[in-house]
Amino acid sequence: DLPREFEPASPARSADIIAASLELSGTVDLAYATLEQCTVSADAEAVDLTGATVVDVEMSGARIASLRMRDTGVRRLRIAGGRIGT
C-alpha cells in the first residue's frame, strides 16, 4: 500500500513522517516518531525507533549496526536485504 512517489524527509524525534523517503546515516533519533507509508534506506551506526509507530514501511538494503525498537508499534514492515544488528 505504498504511494508511487515519495517526498524526501529528514528524520527527527517525535516527527510525523507520511509518504516520504528517508535516507539514514550516522546516528539517527526517530524515537516516538510515526512513519507511515515510507521507504527507508540506511547506512547508519545507530537508529533509535524507541516507542515509534511504523505502518506500511519498506526498508531495503539497510545496513544498521544498532537498531533500537523497544515498545515500537509495527504494522506491515518489510525488510529486504541488508544487515541489522541489535
| Domain positions in the chain | 7-84
Mean pLDDT of 47-58: 96
Q: pLDDT digits over 3-47, tens only?
A: 788 899 999 999 999 999 999 999 999 999 999 999 999 999 999
d(CA 11, CA 22): 7
Residue 1: which pLDDT band, with cuts at 50, 70 and 90?
low
31 CB-side CA count, 13 A: 8
For residue 57, pLDDT over 90 is answered with yes
Angle, alpha carbons 30-68-73 (nearest 5°): 70
As given in the structure block, the three cell numbers for residue 42 are: 540506511
**Spatial contact of 73 and 54, defined as CB atoms under 8 Å apart:** yes
For residue 86, pLDDT over 80 is answered with no
